[in-house]
Amino acid sequence: MAGFRGKEVSLLNPITRCQIRLPSLEGSFCAITKAIISLDPTSYRNECVVMAVIMSTLWFCKVGGGKWKKVKGCIRDIQDVVFYEGNFYAVTKDGSLVSYSGKDPNAEANVLTSQMQRRAYTRRYLVASAGSLLQVLRVYRRRYKNLNNHHHRSYQPNINWMGAKINRTFKFEVMELVKGNSSVLGGSKGTSEINHHWCEIESLGERSLFLGYNSSMSVPASLSPNGTGNHIYFTDDHHDDHVSNFLFSNSQVRAWHDAGVFNFEEKSSKSYHPNHPTDFMPSVWFSPNPW
């Protein structure tokens, strides 16, 4: 897990409470929405690379290193990043998949898949699952609700209108990466044909996915709630909405949390969160052995 106070950044193991200091962030506002590691930082301190999504771009540093660096290639609109088979993989808002070396992320970026059609009210994730790399597309609806005539806590009694921004996830699409050749972004092989592609799957089998902006995991059915697979458990991923809730408490529009479970077989979704605005930040997933 990555936490920051001001510009100070640390890796935190929530089980052992072990903290490892990382280089400080530069800039007036550098929010880390996700950070992952390549190796156990306690066993491979000089080799562990930390890759982070900062303001929708990728930055990395080494444990014990001097500073954060932006990866080459100027890839923007990053929605998720994962460490898989020795490399970092990132997906953009339009579904493009890019990989970086796990030992030297500053090397050329490998473009693995072409762009997909950009869709409104969606969020993309990458998950390593049973030896495969999955891309998960989360689809939600958004509506606004007038709270003046409802029995909800009033955040601004002196303002005539009080509204709620309600995001509700109702669908997931899951695709598996089929490997082929790749091209190098900005390199001598930049004109090579991109043969990697995504193939949509209809079942997760005996596995379940746990998704959120801080972490995405695949676990066997035996470790899932009720011992059943083929479900997707999701936390609220509308990070910007809840940062606004927290920082601007006098806002007229409050965001509601969107968390629950999706039955991938029945294609049905169940919300876990109460239907009222909240100042609390979204929940996060963490594994019993984060490194």
**pLDDT per residue as tens digits for the range 186-199:** 543 433 446 789 99
Q: Does residue 268 surpass a pLDDT of 90?
A: yes
pTM of the model: 0.83
pLDDT tens per residue across span 107-164: 778 889 988 888 888 999 999 999 999 999 999 988 777 766 554 443 443 444 456 7
Q: What are the φ and ψ backbone dihedral angles of 219, each rounded to 5 degrees?
A: -130, 150
Q: Among 9, 12, 6, 14, which Cα is nearest to 59's?
A: 9
Quote the Cα angle for 125-131-132, to 5°.
40
Helix (H) or strand (E) holding 232: strand 231-234
Cβ neighbour number for residue 120 with a 10 Å cutoff: 7
Q: Is the Cβ–Cβ distance between 174 and 136 less than 8 Å?
A: yes
Q: Is the Cβ–Cβ distance between 83 and 117 less than 8 Å?
A: no
Mean pLDDT (the chain, rounded):
80
The separation between CA 190 and the C-alpha centre of its own chain, rounded to angstroms, equals: 28
Which positions ≥6 away from 58 have C-beta within 8 Å? 51, 52, 70, 71, 75, 78, 81, 88, 90, 100, 105
**pLDDT given at position 153:** 44
Q: Are strands 49-54 and 57-62 parallel, antiparallel or unpaired?
A: antiparallel
- What count of Cα atoms within 13 Å lies in the side-chain half-sphere of residue 160? 0
**pLDDT given at position 104:** 84
Burial of 6 (0-12, 13-18, 19+ CB in 10 A): exposed
Q: Does residue 88 surpass a pLDDT of 60?
A: yes
Q: Does residue 87 surpass a pLDDT of 70?
A: yes
